[in-house]
Amino acid sequence: MTKRISLTQYLVEQQREHGHIPAQLRLLIEVVARACKRIAISVNKGELGDVLGSAGSENVQGEVQKKLDVISNEVLIEANEWGGHLAAMASEEMDSIHVVPNRYPQGEFLLLFDPLDGSSNIDVNVSIGTIFSVLRKVNNQRGVSEEDFLQPGKQQAAAGYCIYGPQTTLVLTVGDGVAMFTLDREMGSWVLTQENVQIPEDTKEFAINMSNMRHWDAPVKRYIDECLAGKEGPRGKDFNMRWVASMVADVHRILTRGGIFMYPWDKRDPDKPGKLRLLYEANPMGFVVEQAGGMVSNGRQRIMDIQPTKLHERVSVILGSKNEVQRVHDYHQDV
């Protein structure tokens, strides 16, 4: 049974034992966690809080923004501006970076987030979440630019997500394994409920949007066809399928019981590497999944080795149980 301690105590003990959570990073994580609590309150209000439906605007991705997309983005910006731990922020919902105003001290960290992932599920009351990634500002020159954010995922200082589901759960890694904190609503505090999370190396469960099957590349089609062939097929076992259409929900299931999640490149838009975003979806989820013993690939290379070239860069994502991801990765080498 995991000892029931608070997020603060967990971070202080991590700092004492491993000494790589400087005060600014600890403050950053606590501020993000508090912002997620505020987002959870808005999410849980639903219709009562007049937060459902469209905001009547589009984001840089050309996607219609939901009211909660905009609210969540504002909560994270306002929560993180004043603390002195950040130099700048980047969000799926903003075209360019948000530099901490000069009236506040500038910190050494950069925060990236998808403030509300899975927006198509908001109005139908299905789990959604916030995904965040923390980088260090590597160049010591005064000021900050978009180029400072273009770092491979392996350079992240911390990453995680908050899933707003039947429970509200914060999942975090600072590079020493994965811990989960459940929101105690009576106390309003995050309570450690699991640590050293490990993803089973094998699975019988895959997550992919099957409606795109006719658009997939051959290696992905081969892998899924073999899963569908079941016991009588080359895999010699039956598979189950899940697709929530909220990456946080699908990844949380995989962290909890194993599985493979795939949003691969497809030929609908050949110049687009994939649907999901590298810097604030694939990299933070990749850090968490790898820290839990899983594997994360774009089919041809480790995602966290990719050198980004633009802030909203997209990527093909295959992640989860190590042996299954390795199989898909190998199929891509065979073509």
- Contacting range for ligand P6P; rule: CB under 6 A; set: 112-120, 198-206, 266-274, 282-290: 112-120
d(CA 144, CA 138) in angstroms, rounded, equals 10
Nearest one of 226, 231, 287, 294 to 259, comparing CA atoms: 294
Residues in 193-212 at the binding interface with ligand P6P, rule: CB under 6 A: 209
Residue 204 is assigned to a ligand binding site: no
By C-beta, is 23 or 210 nearer to ligand P6P? 210
Interface with ligand P6P (CB under 6 A), residue total 10
Q: Under a CB-based contact definition with an 8 Å cutoff, are residues 237 and 204 in contact?
A: yes
Angle at 131 between CA 39 and CA 194, to 5 degrees: 90
Please report how close the Cβ of residue 130 comes to ligand P6P at its closest, in angstroms.
11
CA 263 to chain centre: 14
By the rule CB under 6 A, 122 interacts with ligand P6P: no
d(CA 257, CA 241) in angstroms, rounded, equals 13
Other C-beta atoms lying within 10 Å of the C-beta of residue 202: 10
Nearest one of 103, 124, 162, 164 to 285, comparing CA atoms: 162
By C-beta, is 70 or 247 nearer to ligand P6P? 247
d(CA 212, CA 223) in angstroms, rounded, equals 14
Please report how close the Cβ of residue 119 comes to ligand P6P at its closest, in angstroms.
6
The residue whose Cβ lies closest to ligand P6P is 247
Q: Under a CB-based contact definition with an 8 Å cutoff, are residues 174 and 195 in contact?
A: no
Based on DSSP, count helices (H) and strands (E) in the chain, helices before strands.
7, 17
Residue 147 is assigned to a ligand binding site: no
By the rule CB under 6 A, 245 interacts with ligand P6P: yes
By the rule CB under 6 A, 117 interacts with ligand P6P: yes
Candidate residues 247, 278, 295, 304; the one interacting with ligand P6P per rule CB under 6 A: 247
Residue 311, SS3?
coil
Please report how close the Cβ of residue 78 comes to ligand P6P at its closest, in angstroms.
24
d(CA 161, CA 212) in angstroms, rounded, equals 26
By C-beta, is 219 or 264 nearer to ligand P6P? 264
Residues in 252-291 at the binding interface with ligand P6P, rule: CB under 6 A: 263, 275-276
Residue 76, SS3?
helix
By the rule CB under 6 A, 246 interacts with ligand P6P: yes
Q: Under a CB-based contact definition with an 8 Å cutoff, are residues 44 and 164 in contact?
A: yes
Please report how close the Cβ of residue 251 comes to ligand P6P at its closest, in angstroms.
9
Candidate residues 115, 118, 258, 286; the one interacting with ligand P6P per rule CB under 6 A: 118
By the rule CB under 6 A, 130 interacts with ligand P6P: no
By C-beta, is 192 or 244 nearer to ligand P6P? 244
d(CA 197, CA 183) in angstroms, rounded, equals 18
Residue 117 is assigned to a ligand binding site: yes
Amino acid at 27: L
Q: Is 309 exposed, middle or buried (0-12, 13-18, 19+ CB in 10 A)?
A: exposed
Please report how close the Cβ of residue 59 comes to ligand P6P at its closest, in angstroms.
11
Residue 119 is assigned to a ligand binding site: yes
d(CA 62, CA 219) in angstroms, rounded, equals 30
By C-beta, is 9 or 120 nearer to ligand P6P? 120
Please report how close the Cβ of residue 232 comes to ligand P6P at its closest, in angstroms.
29
- Contacting range for ligand P6P; rule: CB under 6 A; set: 10-18, 34-42, 184-192, 245-253: 245-253
Tell me the binding residues for Mg(2+).
92, 114, 116-117, 281
Q: Which residues bind ligand P6P (CB under 6 A)?
A: 117-118, 120, 209, 245-247, 263, 275-276
